[in-house]
């Protein structure tokens, strides 16, 4: 079925975004590709820097062409791969809270006798780049399936409910890297699509669709907090019941995250490296006492959307993602 | 605010018109009879027809769907020869059960209301608790369930294998004698052919508002708003996110739903979000059939559910006027595809 032509549909919807109170201003440091501050301290000189280098094919055993993820207005289901050869870099993600595994669907005990049961936790990752040393441009890499096939739309969806979804896999040229950066969400071209008619992971069954602005959620979290002794909420960050972080379909507002850590990608075989998702940082950002009233009006005034906007703005100052040593 | 959402809908509609959304008449078989396999897709659904949703090892063919239809209506698939799939999935009720809980062999009853199976081709998991990952897997379970048809699949196969016309039909459809796998595949094929995409809402999304007046538009706008919050689980288009949520219908000590599959404490009281096409026809509602009318459903959500501590945090009391509640109900009635009820292709 091809009756939705997103560019036309969302040209109309985009015109409405302002009505919903969406800021048309990109947030400094979090909005544009490659422009974010690092998650683990200041990134290297080229972390996040855009490159004019074109995508290329890796020759066997050679190095890949460097180049930042090309910005595209489109959102092709089968985007042209940046390279057809490379090494699979698997990044299994693990949720962590208070230094311990944060187990989905279970009562995770907190200090003081309270507990937290995560009920839903999903997020998108796209536009991934590997970082190299000072003076060297980043290397854009393809998001792929576990088998190495290009991921539809170039997008990875983490769904805590589905263990099969919990590994981010990239096709990387062999080499030494100092970390990676990625969009915690989807690029503007995809965010402007109407999910009706799209396939996984952008189908509405992703649970990431959002009529507020016509765009998608980038990060979704819901949980049940049980205070010590009785059910109910308190002022603790862990008592936050929901976080819905989205963007804006008029301008690029997807936050970009940089994670520093050595990645030595071999010429053959594969590299697996754990990537922790630190929930303490998520909750800290989502409960930050910052003013988001410029966007938190109308439909976006829902508590979970306000929490999401706080998180989006705080991401450059947080350490949400941590590579295992 | 409602006016703004009208604009979104209007934009969608105009584009749908431009691109010529399919509302094809049923395809015809070589004999000229209407085919069970159609190219029509409900509006707002993912790309791909129902046939394109079929697994590689059970491609949807006319022979398979027709065989599945015969099996669907055959009470031989129950131990006592009194219950067929159709007993709990009736065409007049959008292939759901009008009873609170369904009656199986010898009048046995379970704890859940049989849901509609229309447009299940696009589903990801099946049953209220999502314990089946495919229609093929789903198809065999009611046959063997002691509270439903109470017949071992091997016995079901033996029964149909004793009928030469069935043997011929299986040979034609699957190239082999009846087997447990092919029996389930055939049933899944018929279910996959049950496509409904001609409701006023479908036509509205395609740009035809002749049966989608102001009250339905107000209801749709509310449906997609934070005021009513329906969209969280029922996003526009498919009207289900295929997820599992505790919508406040669970009461302590009751059916724990998804938790029985996952074992997770966080899944207590979670049930699969149903699709809403033809919801008017598939009363009663909720996993336990405890709400008799659409008005009851709206009141349930307006109250924020039944108050159990396991209720999803997004289920909260709503502030809706009586007019707004009526608008929501009228929107839900716009999801009724009248042609489904009388479509002779789906009848025995």
Pairing of strands A321-323, A256-265: unpaired
Q: For position B331, what pLDDT does the model report? A: 98
Q: Quick check: A205 and B267 CB within 8 A? A: no
What digits encode the pLDDT tens for the residues B189-213?
999 999 999 999 999 999 999 999 9
Rounded mean pLDDT of A74-100? Answer: 95
CA distance A263 to chain B (A): 35
Q: For position B27, what pLDDT does the model report? A: 58
Q: Quick check: A207 and B243 CB within 8 A? A: yes
Looking at the predicted structure, is the pLDDT value of residue A69 above 60?
no
Looking at the predicted structure, is the pLDDT value of residue B338 above 60?
yes
Q: For position A56, what pLDDT does the model report? A: 25
What digits encode the pLDDT tens for the residues A21-42?
223 222 322 223 332 222 222 2
Specify whether the CB–CB gap between B79 and B147 falls below 8 A. Answer: no
- What's the 3-state SS for B160-197? HHCCHHHHHHHHHHHCCCCCHHHHHHHHHHHHHHCCCC
B-chain residues near A104 (CB < 8 A): 264, 266
CA distance A302 to chain B (A): 7
Domain annotation covers residue A105: no
Residue position matching structure tokens 């295929």: B242
Looking at the predicted structure, is the pLDDT value of residue A154 above 80?
yes
Looking at the predicted structure, is the pLDDT value of residue A232 above 70?
no
Q: Quick check: A4 and B242 CB within 8 A? A: no
Q: For position A323, what pLDDT does the model report? A: 97
B-chain residues near A207 (CB < 8 A): 241, 243
pLDDT grade, residue A233 (50/70/90)?
low
Which residues 247-286 of A have a C-beta within 8 angstroms of B? none
More confident residue, A34 or A167: A167
A-chain residues near B237 (CB < 8 A): 195-197, 204
What digits encode the pLDDT tens for the residues B287-321?
999 999 999 999 999 999 999 999 999 999 999 99
| Stretch among A214-218, B94-98, B130-134, B204-208 having the lowest mean pLDDT | A214-218
Q: For position A23, what pLDDT does the model report? A: 30
Q: Is A163 on the interface with B (CB under 8 A)?
A: no
Rounded mean pLDDT of A171-192? Answer: 96
Rounded mean pLDDT of A37-53? Answer: 27
Looking at the predicted structure, is the pLDDT value of residue B85 above 50?
yes
Among B275, B339, B306, CA closest to B115: B275
Q: Quick check: A119 and B236 CB within 8 A? A: no
Q: Quick check: A104 and B224 CB within 8 A? A: no
Domain annotation covers residue A229: no
Q: Is A152 on the interface with B (CB under 8 A)?
A: no
Q: Is A20 on the interface with B (CB under 8 A)?
A: yes
Specify whether the CB–CB gap between A8 and B7 falls below 8 A. Answer: no
Q: Quick check: A12 and B124 CB within 8 A? A: no
| Domain, as residue range, for A71 | 6-90+122-217+244-323
Q: Quick check: A4 and B1 CB within 8 A? A: no
Q: For position A189, what pLDDT does the model report? A: 93
Q: Quick check: B236 and A107 CB within 8 A? A: no
Looking at the predicted structure, is the pLDDT value of residue A71 above 70?
no
Rounded mean pLDDT of B264-287? Answer: 97
Domain annotation covers residue A233: no
- What's the 3-state SS for chain B? CHHHHHHHHHHHHHHHHHHCCCCCCCCECCCCCECCCCCCCCCCCCCCCCHHHCCHHHCCCHHHHHHHHHHHCCHHHCCCCCCCHHHHCEHHHCCECCCCCCECHHHCECCCCCCCCCCHHHCCCECCCCCECCHHHHHHHHHHCCCCCCCCHHHHHHHHHCCHHHHHHHHHHHCCCCCHHHHHHHHHHHHHHCCCCCCHHHHHHCCCCCCCCHHHHHHHHHHCCCCCCHHHCCCCCCCCCCCEECCCCCCCCCCCECHHHHCCHHHCCEEECCCCCCHHHHCCECCCCCECCHHHHHHHHHCCCCCCCCCCCCCCCCCCCHHHHHHHHHHHHCCCCHHHHHCHHHCC
How far apart, in whole angstroms, are the C-alpha atoms of residue A218 and residue A323? 21
- Domains contained in chain A, number: 1
Domain annotation covers residue A223: no
Q: Quick check: A222 and B313 CB within 8 A? A: yes
Q: For position A296, what pLDDT does the model report? A: 65
Domain annotation covers residue A298: yes
> Which among A3, A242, A302 has the least Cβ separation from residue B19?
A3
- Average pLDDT of chain A is 78
B-chain residues near A2 (CB < 8 A): 19, 47
CA distance A8 to chain B (A): 7
pLDDT grade, residue B220 (50/70/90)?
very high
Looking at the predicted structure, is the pLDDT value of residue A142 above 90?
yes
What digits encode the pLDDT tens for the residues B135-156?
999 999 999 999 999 999 999 9
> Which among A194, A197, A222 has the least Cβ separation from residue B47?
A197
Domain annotation covers residue A231: no
> Which among B12, B226, B236 has the least Cβ separation from residue A302?
B226
Domain annotation covers residue A224: no
Partners of A167 in the β-ladder = A92
Q: Quick check: A196 and B310 CB within 8 A? A: no
Q: Quick check: B237 and A2 CB within 8 A? A: no
Q: For position A47, what pLDDT does the model report? A: 29
How far apart, in whole angstroms, are the C-alpha atoms of residue B144 and residue B140? 7
Q: For position A301, what pLDDT does the model report? A: 80
pTM for the full predicted model: 0.84
A-chain residues near B126 (CB < 8 A): none
Q: For position B226, what pLDDT does the model report? A: 84
Q: Is A78 on the interface with B (CB under 8 A)?
A: no
Q: Is A222 on the interface with B (CB under 8 A)?
A: yes
Domain annotation covers residue A230: no
B-chain residues near A195 (CB < 8 A): 235, 237
């Amino acid at each position: 079925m091809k009756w939705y032509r997103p560019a036309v549909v969302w040209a109309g919807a985009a015109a409405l975004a302002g009505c919903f109170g969406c800021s048309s201003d990109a947030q400094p440091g979090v909005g544009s590709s490659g422009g974010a501050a690092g998650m683990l301290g200041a990134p290297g000189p080229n972390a996040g820097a855009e490159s004019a280098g074109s995508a290329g094919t890796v020759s066997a055993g050679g190095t890949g062409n460097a180049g930042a993820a090309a910005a595209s207005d489109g959102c092709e289901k089968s985007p042209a791969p940046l390279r057809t050869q490379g090494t699979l870099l698997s990044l299994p993600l693990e949720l962590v809270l208070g230094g311990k595994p944060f187990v989905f669907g279970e009562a995770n005990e907190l200090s003081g006798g309270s507990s937290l049961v995560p009920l839903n936790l999903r997020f998108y990752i796209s536009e991934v780049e590997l970082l190299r040393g000072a003076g060297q441009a980043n290397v854009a890499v393809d998001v792929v399936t576990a088998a190495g096939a290009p991921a539809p739309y170039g997008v990875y969806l983490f769904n805590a409910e589905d263990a099969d979804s919990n590994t981010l896999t990239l096709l990387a040229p062999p080499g030494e890297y100092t970390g990676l950066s990625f969009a915690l969400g989807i690029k503007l071209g995809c965010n402007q699509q109407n999910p009706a008619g799209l396939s996984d992971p952008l189908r509405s069954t992703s649970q990431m669709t959002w009529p507020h602005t016509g765009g998608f959620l980038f990060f979704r979290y819901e949980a049940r907090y049980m205070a010590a002794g009785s059910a109910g909420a308190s002022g603790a960050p862990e008592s936050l019941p929901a976080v819905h972080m989205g963007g804006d379909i008029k301008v690029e507002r997807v936050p970009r995250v940089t994670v520093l850590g050595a990645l030595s990608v071999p010429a053959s075989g594969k590299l697996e490296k754990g990537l922790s998702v630190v929930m303490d940082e998520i909750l800290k950002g989502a409960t930050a006492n910052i003013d988001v009233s410029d966007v938190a009006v109308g439909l976006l005034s829902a508590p979970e959307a306000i929490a999401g906007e706080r998180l989006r703005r705080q991401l450059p100052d947080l350490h949400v993602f941590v590579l295992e040593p | 605010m409602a006016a703004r959402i009208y604009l979104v809908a209007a934009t969608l509609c105009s584009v749908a018109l431009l691109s010529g959304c399919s509302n094809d008449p049923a395809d015809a078989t070589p004999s000229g009879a209407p085919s069970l396999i159609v190219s029509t897709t409900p509006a707002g659904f993912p790309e791909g027809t129902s046939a394109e949703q079929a697994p590689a090892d059970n491609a949807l063919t006319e022979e398979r769907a027709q065989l599945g239809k015969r099996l669907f209506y055959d009470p031989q698939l129950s131990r006592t020869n009194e219950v067929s799939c159709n007993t709990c999935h009736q065409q007049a009720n959008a292939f759901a059960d009008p009873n609170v809980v369904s009656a199986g062999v010898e009048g046995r009853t379970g704890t859940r209301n049989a849901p509609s199976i229309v447009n299940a081709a696009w589903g990801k998991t099946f049953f209220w608790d999502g314990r089946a990952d495919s229609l093929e897997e789903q198809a065999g379970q009611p046959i063997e369930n002691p509270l439903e048809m109470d017949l071992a699949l091997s016995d079901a196969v033996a029964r149909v294998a004793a009928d030469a016309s069935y043997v011929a039909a299986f040979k034609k459809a699957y190239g082999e004698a009846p087997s447990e796998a092919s029996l389930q595949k055939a049933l899944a094929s018929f279910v996959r052919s049950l496509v409904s995409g001609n409701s006023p809402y479908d036509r509205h999304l395609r740009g035809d508002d002749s049966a989608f007046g102001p009250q339905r538009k107000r209801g749709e706008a509310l449906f997609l708003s934070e005021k009513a919050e329906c969209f969280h689980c029922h996003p526009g288009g498919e009207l289900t996110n295929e997820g599992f949520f505790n919508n406040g219908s669970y009461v302590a000590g009751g059916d724990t739903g998804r938790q029985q599959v996952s074992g997770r404490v966080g899944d207590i009281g979670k049930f699969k979000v149903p699709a809403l096409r033809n919801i008017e026809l598939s009363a009663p509602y909720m996993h336990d059939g405890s709400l008799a009318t659409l008005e009851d459903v709206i009141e349930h959500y307006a109250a924020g559910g039944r108050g159990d501590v396991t209720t999803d945090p997004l289920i909260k009391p709503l502030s809706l006027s009586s007019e707004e509640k009526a608008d929501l109900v009228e929107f839900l009635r716009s999801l009724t595809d009248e042609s489904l009820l009388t479509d002779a292709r789906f009848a025995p």
